[in-house]
Structure 1
Amino acid sequence: MSGVIDVQEIDLDAVREQVDAVLEDFLEDKAGAAARRSHPPEVANTLRAFLAAGGKRVRALLCVVGWHAAGGSEDRAAVLRVAASLELFVAFALIHDDIMDDSAVRRGRPAVHRALCTRLGQSSRAERLGAGGALLVGNLALIWAQELLHTADLPLRRRRTVHALYDAMLEEVMYGQYLDVMGTGPDDDIDAALRIARYKTATATVERPLQLGAAVAGADDTTVNLCTALGLPLGEAFQIRDDLLDVFGSTDGACTPGLGDLREGKRTVLLALGLRAATPAQQRRLRSLVGRADLDEHGAAEVRAILEETGARRRTEHMITSRYEQALRVLDAAALPTAASRALRALAVTATQYTS
């Protein structure tokens, strides 16, 4: 990497602001184009509100850090556009995920399908139409994510690599979501739960964003492989933490315990560990409670108690920690620019401690 200026710090807050500026400019242009063509203005505005509601922009940050890791030193315009594309892709995935799970809330606000349902008032078809409207909003988010990606100014060879990585990411997420939707029900198969976590979240949250940023900078095979060695354990830890937070919440109260995964009967590592370590009586209770659409807080409290008693919660925390430590060992052995290494260590903490 001779000739590359190894800055000591990457200002992640500044990167986040730059990505948000790209998104805001892009969606403002889309809103203006919609107005000129008499298209419904609320579509672009719904996405703007969704993105403004929160999110740590982890994928976008990892994309830019991956660019730095591969020696990116020229103008950031192209990598910021790819990074912003990832955030629109995330919006698509979350909007659709909320429809499939019938989640009421996302980032402290009504989920998009619920908000559109409310807009429709007392219509007997409001729920179905709200879900359909949200589906289309999500589809546009994906289309616009692709547009942002395709309009990033890249040399032909790099563009082909970036697009191939992006296409692989899309395919992996769709397969992961399919496994998630079709694989509900209490099960003690830890490998199956990890497979869902890997394809639904791990690759698209850490590995692919890192690879995409590195590819924008023209990364060699060693750096691309490093993104996998680092990204998969961190991505798995990210999803395992998210599953744990959904059931138990966070110790600081920022994330409250929920009923979503328990009512859906999601195949999570946490539940698989609980079933595997449970007594026959505890197994029967878990199987009778998890997956019930009418599960209430009393039943959820009983599930949480069993998961505590069997050591499933503790073992889940250990799996997160072991993956975090694995990622640190990869970083320790890698000859990355100082700024990229420091930023990746900070983002590893963000990915494994709390998700949003």
Structure 2
Amino acid sequence: MDRREILDPSSADPSTPLNQLSPEFDAYRLGPGDALAATLPFYPELNFQATLDLEGNVIVPLAGVLSVEGLTLQQATDSIQTALNRYVINPQVDLILTAQRPVEVTITGEVVRPGVYPLAAPQLSTALLSAGGTTRLADLRTVRVRRTLTDGSVIEQNVDLYTPLREANAIPDVRLADGDSIIIPTLTSDAIADYDRNLIARSTISQQQIVIRVLNYSAGGRSVPGTINSINLPNGSNFLDALTAVGITPSTANLGEVALIRFDPQQGRAISQELDARDALLGDTSQDPPLENNDVVVVGRNFVSRVTYALNTFTQPFRDVLGFLLFFDSLADGANDLFGPGDNDN
């Protein structure tokens, strides 16, 4: 299936409000590995605990082997009561699920590592973290969960994770079933203005760590001039956090002109923004933007202009973010050959 088709939220059923689970979707159906506990208030000697075997059966006292696979808890309760009714009068049964079987789900779209994941705790938030968390391009207002029922039909549920986070409420933690597909749509360019990506970056369901490259061609700091440093920062970090991490300070480098360069996947090109780190240190938030995964920071006034020139003359779009990163790795590996000796910007 085409990725854009999968991620198109317009195909979702508009009749199902966000975070209001449809009855069929909310109904958990038992399967092999589920653990049950049954209590009979009037016949405590018949209380039992059981785990569904590979055939979906449990052993009920007096009644023997009983298949409950594919049933909801209420349906299984009714089935057990019917079976026991042959042996005792009015066998009221209270049935609870004590342990849910592990499930395997498919996660696609804007997560760090799309793929198939086994989950011991089958909740939506657990699934997102198993896939490395959501990316900065994720639109969490219409997360979609698809489920195939036993009759082969497919149902879909929209889940809004963004609004509860924005309003400081608990996020809906949908219980997943084996075979579910989770689709994280991409945030469209016209929706970015109304979407607080920095809030999501600091949440527990987003990518927890981002990788930033700092290409330093200025003397000073803990890095060697002309080298590139890959640093891990908490998601939600800002521009100054990257400079601090590599030990670049105003006393050791000229920070009046620093470039923040970012790969734009829609254009396939690098977008460069020149910043004044000194102004950022003085509290100018416009000069201290939030960072994104795979951002590149270039330090050194003359080197910034040379890198910018190289990007402007590089007419072919980058195929993906890997090509973008390899471009900067090549600059670090052969900066002198490509641009001539770097100036000391102290």
Band the TM-score falls in, shorter-chain normalisation: under 0.3
TM-score for the superposition, normalised by structure 1: 0.23
| Structure with the higher fraction of residues in strand conformation | 2
| Structure with the higher fraction of residues in helix conformation | 1
**Larger relative contact order, structure 1 or 2 (CA cutoff 8 Å, min sep 6):** 1
TM-score for the superposition, normalised by structure 2: 0.24
Please identify the structure whose Cα radius of gyration is greater.
Answer: 2
